[in-house]
């Protein structure tokens, strides 16, 4: 399971010219599930996302989590993060989990984050989404759990 975190001042998702999810200060999280990922990884990924210290403290060091800064999360399913890009000029999506299974795991990650008292908005699974963001930093982090 891979998550790409971006520290944002704001982010939103549009589907068919309609805003379906938006947050202010927090994290935009693109999440991908690969074949072999399972429910046992959900809590671990949610805890890593929710506790990952990427926000500055009073000294400017990245010592605070999205929970600690009272931020929100915009969780966007993105199967392309599961692509195999090791060779050639075209990604292979063979490693990606089938959509129905991935949708369940992504939903469970969102539920686990909400159980941690972190507000979560979500993108629409398998939709053509327009994602807009203001990346603060810029700051982007790749997390993987296996």
For the annotated catalytic residues, the residue numbers are: 78-80
Q: Beta strands 62-64 and 130-144: pairing type? A: unpaired
For 40-96, where are the E strands, in sequence order?
55-56, 62-64, 72-77
**Exposed, middle or buried: residue 94 (CB in 10 Å: 0-12, 13-18, 19+)?**
exposed
Q: How far apart are CA 51 and CA 5, in angstroms?
A: 12
């Amino acid at each position: 399971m891979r998550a790409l975190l971006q520290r944002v001042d704001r982010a939103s998702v549009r589907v068919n010219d309609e805003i379906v999810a938006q947050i202010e200060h927090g994290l935009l999280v693109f999440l991908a599930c690969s074949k072999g990922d399972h429910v046992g990884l959900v809590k671990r990924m949610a805890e890593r996302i929710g506790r990952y210290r990427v926000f500055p403290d009073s000294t400017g060091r990245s010592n605070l989590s999205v929970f600690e800064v009272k931020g929100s999360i915009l969780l966007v399913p993105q199967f392309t993060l599961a692509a195999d890009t090791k060779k050639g000029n075209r990604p292979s999506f063979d490693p990606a989990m089938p959509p129905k299974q991935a949708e369940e795991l992504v939903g469970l990650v969102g539920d686990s984050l909400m159980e941690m008292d972190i507000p979560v908005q979500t993108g629409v699974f398998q939709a053509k989404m327009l994602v807009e963001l203001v990346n603060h930093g810029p700051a982007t982090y790749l997390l993987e759990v296996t």
